[in-house]
Amino acid sequence: MRRVRKILKAKPVIEGAGVRLKRLFGKPELPLLDPFLLLDDFHSNDPDDYLAGFPMHPHRGIETITYILHGEVAHRDSMGNRGVIQSGDVQWMTAGGGIIHEEMPKRTEGTLWGFQLWANLPASHKMMAPRYQNIKAGEIPCVSPNTDVSIKVICGEVGGVRGPVQGIVSRPEYLDITIHPNAVYEHATEKDCTVFAYVIEGSGSFEGEDHPPILPENLILFAYGSGIRVRTAEEPVRFLLISGQAVREQIAWSGPIVMNTRDELETAFEEYRLGTFLRHN
Ligand code: FE2
């Protein structure tokens, strides 16, 4: 079983045009979570925290994965996509060689709550044609390996059930797992991939019997191994379990663009200034 290698705690940051959110990891943590670059948790009852949104901005060299638990985020992009990501929906956007888009949270009754994960693309795919997979909540299968566990399979395969997001370069797994109280669950993972869990509700122990329970807004990075084991006590636990194959390449990263070299980065920003940034659309 994989042991807990490191626990990361959410830190408040301000992003976009003034959105208050919590960051679990980003540039300072490179290359700890390779192929993943960044994870943000936006979770607020106060529209002033999020209405400023993320007006038009470019991306190149990465994929962004947005999962909304509650609320709505309107988006539009340079490929002509336009719509609203709603509660339970996932948007998997491959920026590839270039996309310009806008992500604007809408005023929500109660809590706006969602996550954005960035996954790096290897040099061989950084300039691929951009693509966009918009997955509605009802398209995400939920499987129960036993009566104590339910798993929303966003990407990857559990018990022969494949998630709707497919064809992703780093062969990621993205699961939303809930475990009832007083239960144990073991989940197999590919031996050499990067695996982390992000607790979103309740608490659970992610290792042998003695490990203290991990609480919400804590991210567990696992050491290498063939699977993870989670144990609950009186409380249930809900967590995202995410894994992927490390890219293991040099990274040059500035804002929303992640390339291999400084030259590539400078070219990207120069092209954005000149209006020649978009290659495929
Ligand atoms: Fe973006």
Kindly report the CATH number assigned to the domain that includes residue 198.
2.60.120.10
**Encoding tokens for residue 30?**
């490179």
Pairing of strands 62-70, 194-202: unpaired
Question: Is residue 275 situated within a structural domain?
Answer: no
Question: Is residue 119 situated within a structural domain?
Answer: yes
DSSP tag of 170: T
Tell how far the Cα of 147 is from the centroid of ligand 1, in angstroms: 38
What distance in Å separates the CA atoms of residue 214 and residue 120, rounded to the nearest whole number?
Answer: 27
Residue 120 CA, chain-centre distance (Å), reads: 11
**End-to-end Cα distance, the chain:** 46
Tell how far the Cα of 116 is from the centroid of ligand 1, in angstroms: 9
Tell how far the Cα of 16 is from the centroid of ligand 1, in angstroms: 9
Question: Is residue 167 situated within a structural domain?
Answer: yes
What distance in Å separates the CA atoms of residue 138 and residue 89, rounded to the nearest whole number?
Answer: 8
Tell how far the Cα of 27 is from the centroid of ligand 1, in angstroms: 16
What distance in Å separates the CA atoms of residue 74 and residue 56, rounded to the nearest whole number?
Answer: 12
Question: What's the pLDDT at 168?
Answer: 83
Q: What is the residue whose two structure tokens read 């490191």?
A: 6
Of 207, 200, 210, the closest CA to residue 177 belongs to 200
Tell how far the Cα of 34 is from the centroid of ligand 1, in angstroms: 19
DSSP tag of 173: E
What distance in Å separates the CA atoms of residue 58 and residue 78, rounded to the nearest whole number?
Answer: 9
Question: Is residue 99 situated within a structural domain?
Answer: yes
Total of domains in the chain: 1
Question: What's the pLDDT at 167?
Answer: 81
Tell how far the Cα of 181 is from the centroid of ligand 1, in angstroms: 37
Question: What's the pLDDT at 221?
Answer: 95
What distance in Å separates the CA atoms of residue 232 and residue 97, rounded to the nearest whole number?
Answer: 44
Which of the residues in the chain have pLDDT under 50? none
Tell how far the Cα of 144 is from the centroid of ligand 1, in angstroms: 33
What distance in Å separates the CA atoms of residue 105 and residue 220, rounded to the nearest whole number?
Answer: 28
What distance in Å separates the CA atoms of residue 171 and residue 77, rounded to the nearest whole number?
Answer: 25
Question: Is residue 177 situated within a structural domain?
Answer: yes
**Residue 212 sits in which domain range?**
4-266
Tell how far the Cα of 52 is from the centroid of ligand 1, in angstroms: 14
Those residues with Cβ within 8 angstroms of residue 145's Cβ, 6 or more apart along the chain or in another chain: 151, 158, 159, 185
- Does this model's pTM top 0.75? My answer is yes
What distance in Å separates the CA atoms of residue 80 and residue 86, rounded to the nearest whole number?
Answer: 19
Residue 37 CA, chain-centre distance (Å), reads: 9
Tell how far the Cα of 97 is from the centroid of ligand 1, in angstroms: 14
Tell how far the Cα of 185 is from the centroid of ligand 1, in angstroms: 35
Beta bridge partners of 174: 155, 242
pLDDT tens, position by position, 55-70: 999 999 999 999 999 9
Question: Is residue 273 situated within a structural domain?
Answer: no
Question: Is residue 277 situated within a structural domain?
Answer: no
